[in-house]
Amino acid sequence: MSLKEKTIEELEQMSYTDIAYEVIKEKGKKFNTPNLFKEVCKLLKLDDAEFEEKIGDFFTALTTDGRFILINSSLWDLKENHKANIVVDDEEEETEDVEKSEEDEDDVVSDDLEDDYSDEATDDSDNDEDDFNDLTIIDEEDLDE
């Protein structure tokens, strides 16, 4: 059933993106966001104030709906109208496989960890005992007073 054959009640039960999908499919052409939403508003008999109020949400809905694709940053079309060209390069680069022993791999991991934490060490890290010299031990009895 085409959009023109649907009643206003049937159209109101559809989402804006569903209506936009049908518009693009029936007309067979690409639309920019404002013109596509104008078509939707015309079908739903929405006024200019509603157009201005809802066009931002309509754009967001189009961008998140997987059925649509934005072409050249301005025109919306249906993804089903486009093919993805995948080029496979048959020439493989020759690479040398370098085998490492488990010991070598362990050394690499531990070196990486040392590098990650070496920035956090300070110059006075050797004086850890000095950090405890300023501490005072308090008995529980002293807390009650």
CATH number of the domain that 9 lies in?
1.10.10.1250
Confirm whether 130 is domain-assigned. Answer: no
Please report which confidence band the pLDDT of residue 83 belongs to, taking 50, 70 and 90 as the band edges: confident
Span 112-137, average pLDDT: 58
Which is more confidently placed, 124 or 71?
A: 71
Is the pLDDT at 128 greater than 70? The verdict is no
Q: How far apart (Å, rounded) are the C-alpha atoms in residues 17 and 52?
A: 17
At residue 114, the pLDDT reads 53
Confirm whether 127 is domain-assigned. Answer: no
Confirm whether 92 is domain-assigned. Answer: no
Confirm whether 128 is domain-assigned. Answer: no
- Least confident span in 61-65, 77-81, 100-104: 100-104
Confirm whether 110 is domain-assigned. Answer: no
Confirm whether 103 is domain-assigned. Answer: no
Nearest to 25 by CA among 36, 13, 15: 36
Confirm whether 41 is domain-assigned. Answer: yes
Is the pLDDT at 115 greater than 80? The verdict is no
At residue 89, the pLDDT reads 75
Total domains in the fold of the chain: 1
DSSP state, 110? H
At residue 86, the pLDDT reads 77
At residue 95, the pLDDT reads 52
Q: Assign residue 49 a region (left: φ > 0; alpha: ψ between -120 and 50; beta: otherwise).
A: alpha
At residue 85, the pLDDT reads 76
Confirm whether 91 is domain-assigned. Answer: no
At residue 21, the pLDDT reads 96
Q: Which domain holds residue 20?
A: 3-81
Span 83-99, average pLDDT: 65
Q: What does pTM read for this prediction?
A: 0.57
Is the pLDDT at 52 greater than 90? The verdict is yes
